[in-house]
Amino acid sequence: MDETKGHQCRIVYHPAYNVTAFGLERLHPFDGQKYRRIHDALVARGLRRPRDFLRPRPVGRRDLVKLHTPAYLDSLRRPDVLAGVLEVPIVGRLPGWVIDWRILRPMRFATGGTILACRLALEHGIAVNLGGGYHHAASAWGAGFCVYADVPLAVMLLHDEGNVGRVLVVDLDAHQGNGTAAVFHGWDWASIYDLYERDIFPARKEPEDFPLPVGPGLTGAEYLGIVRDTLPGALDAVRPDLVVYNAGSDPFVGDPLARYRLTQADLAERDLLVVTTARERGIPVAMVLSGGYSSESWRIHADAIEGILTRFDRV
């Protein structure tokens, strides 16, 4: 029996998303436990019951090699390679099996979650994966705590199956989605709209269809104005069969790795704006959470998802 059949918005989550590596995960500002915190907040607020979350399977090598090169996937067995991708040097001293079980396995589950969320969005209109959004990973490389290119892989699988024609990724993480953009270079059916801070990581920016590089200090009103003014045009130009929304929380004023000045309320308004603008055009939306490095990241996402559920959910 489908316990979620009364909800338009599907939410994908697995406890295996959470990254624990004997405390070493705390050496990176990314909160590897925020997925559980978001899940628990949605339950505590009465928005979902524990059984309402849809659990994905982890992506396997059979699907990963459809996008990633075998050489890159093989290189992930080397601790020194993973230490560079994750930006945690001490990871290079861990045994390979520990890295795979405690770090890569959660990311494979989250990548499976993105694939499932995209499928559910096509079926139900809106789906949220409480993980994923590894937009610094490309076919042959990873960086910035991003190992698997989950969004490109998900849309490629759907396109190859004939379930989508054109896809637009809306990337509002504070950092450019260089990995996603690099993968999309050879795909005339996939486009990316990307509003990012121009002078922070990554140093080398990739060409994009709708790039919006902006300097530091952007306020919520300025940021939301840019999205309102430019996103409808991108949607109307591409006319996608699916929008994948990369909803990074790092434009938050308290984020240590970016310099925008958005409040929690601004970010909730941003996410609702993106979903509403797409849904008004009848376009399905799959949302992934991507980056966010403040202690409030989980709360920002929980508030934003609550706003989306309040506007779109039906019980």
Q: Which residues are catalytic?
A: 136
Token pair in block for residue 205? 């920016």
- Distance separating alpha carbons of residues 253 and 220, to the nearest angstrom: 9
- Distance separating alpha carbons of residues 199 and 310, to the nearest angstrom: 36
Whether the CB-CB separation of 285 and 278 falls below 8 Å is answered with yes
Helix, strand, coil abundance in the chain, percent, nearest 5: 45, 15, 40
Say which amino acid occupies 149: A
SS3 track for 219-266? EHHHHHHHHHHHHHHHHHHHCCCEEEEECCCCCECCCCCCCCEECHHH
- Distance separating alpha carbons of residues 91 and 83, to the nearest angstrom: 5
Count of CA atoms in the C-beta half-sphere (13 A) of 199: 7
- Name the strand (E) or helix (H) holding 54: none
Q: Which residue has the tokens 């499932």?
A: 116
Closest CA to 273 of 255, 285, 258: 285
Count of CA atoms in the C-beta half-sphere (13 A) of 223: 31
